Structure 1
Amino acid sequence: MSSTARQTSWLSDLRCYQAIQKSLAGQHDHIAKAYQHQWPNFIIIGSAKSATTTLATVLSQHPEIQISASMEPKFFGRNYRRGWEWYGQQFSSGEHCRLRGEASTMYTSSYRSYQHTPQLIRHHLGIIPLIYIVRHPLRRIESHWRHWRGRINDCPPFHQLLNSKALKQRVVEGSLYHKQLMRYRQWFPAKSIHCLSTEELTAHPIKSLNAILKFLGQPANGSALLFKGSLPLANPAGSKGRRDIEPPQWTAELKKRTLEIIQPDSEAFLKTLHWPNNTWQWD
């Protein structure tokens, strides 16, 4: 990234930060409430490359659920400066629906412009249902790197995973699920955050969807949202570019160093949710 691009990005983040601080101080409450009838009443908060788009697409088939017009609006973060009118328009066609939702995986990123996302959501929307879908941490990293490599010309090679500040923050830290979950539990009670795995959704879609619908206060009729009992095909937008990149290979040293970062967090995440210790295999 050029120095000019870095400066532009820094200024954009600064203005976003300033706008969010004003919002958290209550200075935007009157603006937000003008669009209260269009607010979402549930959000899928991530994680990236874990079938969030697939889940949002499936839920949009429900007659009582509307998903935002823009996939990943990222409003409670970098796009906050677009304003409440823009955000309200994301749900303008769903005012008749009982449930309106969006899916923005950046809401569980460690990027500076999303550091206040949990608090911002809580301040404006109150305690609403949040869905956190996660994937085997190493498989998620592989997919995320392929996504970047396929779309960004100067994306470093996989063996630079931990030497590149950008890759480490965006790709590796995206698998620190417990760290992100605890950020949200500071502002939301545990019962308002439903966690599930990509592997469970893929292997048992009806069971997983029934649990989500029940969590959202709807009848458990997940089978009606599937096509011949199956999830939709992979998201074309999400796989753009990634399909042209070969799956990366882990060297023993890179895998060891990466696991030193993510495995303790993963084990804490599994323990917090009372998921089996062997949910994810590391070999």
Structure 2
Amino acid sequence: MPDPNFIVIGAPKAGTTSLCNYLAGHEQVYLYENKETQFFSGKYDRGFAWYQSLFNGARDNQVIGEGTPGYALGPNTGQVAKRIHDHLPKVKLIYMVRDPIERIKSHYAQGLANGFPDIGLSKAVFERQNLIEASRYQARLNDYLAFFPREQIHIIMFDDLIADQKKTISACLKFLGLPPAEQVELAKRGARETRARDGVSLSLLKRTKPFEVLRPLIPNRIVEKVRPYFKEKINLDKIDLSLSDAAFEHIKKELQEETVQFLKNMGRPKNLWTFTN
């Protein structure tokens, strides 16, 4: 059975979906159909043979990959990195990063779309640990560097992806051993428009074992047809993503020193992001 050549490990809400959507459409790339396998984080007990079976559709001339942003979500990242290394020591890793404040806001909004209660962003940054932990880019990178050499990890700055898509995507393809992109048109990122989130029935269904077993076997075209019947709309434009002074200072206290060091290591100016100037 085939093994992945690359994994997009995160960070959540840093452009991983845009990148994976592009790679999924590339003729020389086979990306797991549902993007996220979550194997090395939440489904490890299914065994590596199950994981390999997810890539059975790949052709011999394709590079194979998946994208699970939860692989760089929080303090358990070291365990995830070890598991990946135990099975795939030569795999190439792609890590995407973004202004920590903007990433946290987007992460919180996505949580609402996934059914989390709206307790307010300012309260959430104190109570939901992963909002902060997923923005500890140097710490998460170090979790992987404990097992993988630096040359096996390709870091993409969200700022670069927005500023020059072709150059950024071409560098990623080169990392994967593929020719540069001739043309790149990533989906435009709009405002936080109305999205659909899981209704009560779908939320309960997703927690069942049969759903976890059967979902990978259902073609996406069928899922997309029935999805609207199980979703409820949520208008993210009406969500207040402002931060209180106390919440902003909390994020700054937690992340500033590490973020400045990360930017320095990346050869970027320390004032690139919100609280690092």
TM-score range, shorter chain: 0.7 to 0.9
Q: Which residue of 2 aligns with 1:126?
A: 89
Q: Which residue of 1 aligns with 2:257?
A: 264
**Length-normalised TM-score, structure 2:** 0.79
Q: Which range is displaced more, 46-55 or 265-274?
A: 265-274
CA 1:239–1:80: 2 relative to 1, 3 Å? farther
Deviation at 1:143, TM superposition (A): 0.6
Distance in 2, Cα, partners of 1:155 & 1:79:
28
Distance in 1, Cα, partners of 2:124 & 2:179:
44
1:251 to 241, 244, 253: 244
Q: Which residue of 1 aligns with 2:182?
A: 223
1:49 paired to 2:9 = no
1:141 paired to 2:104 = yes
2:115 to 124, 133, 152: 152
| Segments of 4+ moved more than 3 angstroms | 233-236, 238-243
Deviation at 1:152, TM superposition (A): 2.6
Distance in 1, Cα, partners of 2:235 & 2:157:
23
Q: Which residue of 1 aligns with 2:145?
A: 185
Deviation at 1:193, TM superposition (A): 0.7
Q: Which residue of 2 aligns with 1:10?
A: none
CA 1:163–1:78: 2 relative to 1, 3 Å? same
Deviation at 1:44, TM superposition (A): 0.6
Q: Which range is displaced more, 60-69 or 44-53?
A: 60-69
The superposition leaves residues 31-75 of structure 1 with CA deviations (integer Å, 9 ceiling, x where unpaired) of xxxx3xx11011111000111011011012221111012221111
> Helix, strand or coil for the counterpart of 1:264?
helix
> Number of paired residues?
237
CA 1:153–1:60: 2 relative to 1, 3 Å? closer
1:232 paired to 2:187 = yes
The superposition leaves residues 226-273 of structure 1 with CA deviations (integer Å, 9 ceiling, x where unpaired) of 3xxx2124599x954575352411122211111110111111111222
> Helix, strand or coil for the counterpart of 2:156?
strand
Deviation at 1:87, TM superposition (A): 1.4
Query: Is contact 1:71–1:102 with CA below 8 Å preserved after alignment?
Result: yes
2:33 to 69, 86, 102: 69
Query: Is contact 1:44–1:130 with CA below 8 Å preserved after alignment?
Result: yes
Gaps of 5+ in 2: 198-233
Query: Is contact 1:146–1:247 with CA below 8 Å preserved after alignment?
Result: no
Query: Is contact 1:202–1:231 with CA below 8 Å preserved after alignment?
Result: no
Q: Which range is displaced more, 258-267 or 148-157?
A: 148-157
1:276 paired to 2:236 = no
Gaps of 5+ in 1: 1-34
Q: Which residue of 2 aligns with 1:30?
A: none
Q: Which residue of 2 aligns with 1:59?
A: 23
Amino acid at match of 2:258: D
Distance in 2, Cα, partners of 1:233 & 1:122:
35
Q: Which residue of 1 aligns with 2:211?
A: none
Q: Which residue of 1 aligns with 2:52?
A: 88
Query: Is contact 1:159–1:254 with CA below 8 Å preserved after alignment?
Result: yes
Tell me which protein shows more strand as a share of its residues: 2
Q: Which residue of 2 aligns with 1:29?
A: none
Distance in 1, Cα, partners of 2:123 & 2:241:
12
Deviation at 1:127, TM superposition (A): 2.3
Deviation at 1:91, TM superposition (A): 1.0
The superposition leaves residues 6-39 of structure 1 with CA deviations (integer Å, 9 ceiling, x where unpaired) of xxxxxxxxxxxxxxxxxxxxxxxxxxxxx3xx11
Distance in 1, Cα, partners of 2:189 & 2:55:
24
Amino acid at match of 1:266: T
Query: Is contact 1:66–1:97 with CA below 8 Å preserved after alignment?
Result: no
1:196 to 133, 143, 156: 156
C-alpha RMSD of the superposition: 2.3
CA 1:90–1:233: 2 relative to 1, 3 Å? farther
> Helix, strand or coil for the counterpart of 2:25?
coil
Distance in 1, Cα, partners of 2:93 & 2:116:
34
Distance in 1, Cα, partners of 2:74 & 2:148:
18
